[in-house]
Structure 1
């Protein structure tokens, strides 16, 4: 499997996750009518995602250590890594939101 195929899979998964997150937020906002419980769930999920930002940034900094030294980082590749980063962050927020919604 080539590197471009792996990037494409991650970008598609990140896009799907982002769409699911925003759809879930819209549905829950209507369901809970913006009450305190919903705000608490959103706050906890956002805090969990913000904590994981540090881990994701460290992973992005460590990725070049495992890539061949001859690999050049083009603007397109940096944008691709950024999109994958956003997708993973939204995945973490989605999972945290589902978890805290079940817990509270």
Structure 2
């Protein structure tokens, strides 16, 4: 089976639109392609690397299903960690945002 990797940035609004259509893509092409998500961090999305680290930390602690839930929750809460709302926020507060998302993902 041919692999189809979809690269997403958890802070990117375009990635969010792709993620929102992922189930439809899998339904339409899942018989032809092994579709998987690969997280990346675009350098102009200041918090995308932290989000990506959070997703992979959750996966290492709680498994792939928890990682997928983290990704879903991160996209749902994307507005809270965009560049503008976090520009003057200390990094520790930004990391607390992702810790909260991780707690929700691991429930």
Q: TM-score normalised to the size of structure 1?
A: 0.35
Higher helix share goes to which structure?
1
Please say which structure displays the higher CA radius of gyration.
1
Q: TM-score normalised to the size of structure 2?
A: 0.34
